[in-house]
Amino acid sequence: MALTQLLFGGIVSLGNIAVHAILMTPLVATVNRAFRWEHRHPQVWLTVVMIATVSVLMIAHAVEVTLWAAIYALLGVAPPGADILYFAFVNYATLGYGDVVPVESWRLLGQ
């Protein structure tokens, strides 16, 4: 069972890496172009670019958490009645367990 959990975890992790790469590639190209433009207020422009960049990264992380939640739901990792998105976020953010723990048979995947 541990090998199965590692396999699923690895596949989802590769999916998360793909999501990040798909969103980061055009983002980096856009930011590079944006920094070539001349502006009267470079500090303001830097702030705008940073806000946009971090917003895209937040969207990427939200998609990645949702991907984990879908896999957790598909495999029945969280206990019955648990908020699966909350469970996925707690795991993704490595906040640690408090109120929701994975079912015994999937404990390694939930770590």
pTM score of the predicted model: 0.77
pLDDT digits (tens, 9 = 90+) for 44-100: 888 988 899 999 999 999 999 999 999 989 988 888 888 889 888 888 887 666 667
More confident residue, 97 or 42: 42
CA atoms in the 13 A half-sphere facing the CB of 56 = 17
Report the alpha-carbon distance of residue 52 to residue 33 in Å, rounded.
Answer: 14
Structure tokens at 71: 């896999």
Specify if 78 maps to a domain: yes
What is each CA distance from 61 to 17, 24, 28, 39, in whole angstroms?
10, 12, 17, 31
Name which of 83, 90, 82 is nearest 65 in CA terms. 90
Q: What is the pLDDT of residue 82?
A: 85
Asked if the model's pLDDT at residue 21 lies above 90, the reply is: yes
Domain residues for the domain of 86 are: 2-103
Specify the number of domains making up the chain.
1
Specify if 110 maps to a domain: no
Q: What is the pLDDT of residue 92?
A: 83
Specify if 111 maps to a domain: no
**90 within 8 A of 97, measured Cβ to Cβ:** yes
